[in-house]
Amino acid sequence: MAAVFALTACDEKPKSIDYYSKHTDEAKSVLDKCDKSGDDSVNCYHAKRGYRAGTAHEHMGDGKLQLDSKPY
């Protein structure tokens, strides 16, 4: 079974970082598979970078400057 997966994974063309940044659910799924299998392929790298780029807004807020009304 693992040999079939390995052959399938090798034949699969890697998707771009940009693709994964727009499809973060798929990127997360790929990352989970990569973690479980120990795979360190180009596709895993692209999924990781794309997931980070696609979810950055969740970690950075809405991008609006928050000013504190209190003086320093």
pTM above 0.75, yes or no: no
45 within some domain: yes
71 within some domain: no
5 within some domain: no
70 within some domain: no
Q: Could you write out the three-class secondary structure of the chain?
A: CHHHHHHHHHHCCCCCHHHHHHCHHHHHHHHHHHHHHCCCCHHHHHHHHHHHHHHHHHHHCCCCCCCCCCCC
Q: How many structural domains does the chain have?
A: 1
Q: What is the per-residue pLDDT for 56? A: 84
- Domain membership of residue 22 as a residue range: 12-56
Q: What is the pLDDT of residues 14-27, one digit of tens each?
A: 999 999 999 999 99
Tell me which of 9 and 23 has the higher pLDDT.
23
67 within some domain: no
51 within some domain: yes
48 within some domain: yes
Q: What is the pLDDT of residues 50-68, one digit of tens each?
A: 999 999 866 555 555 455 5
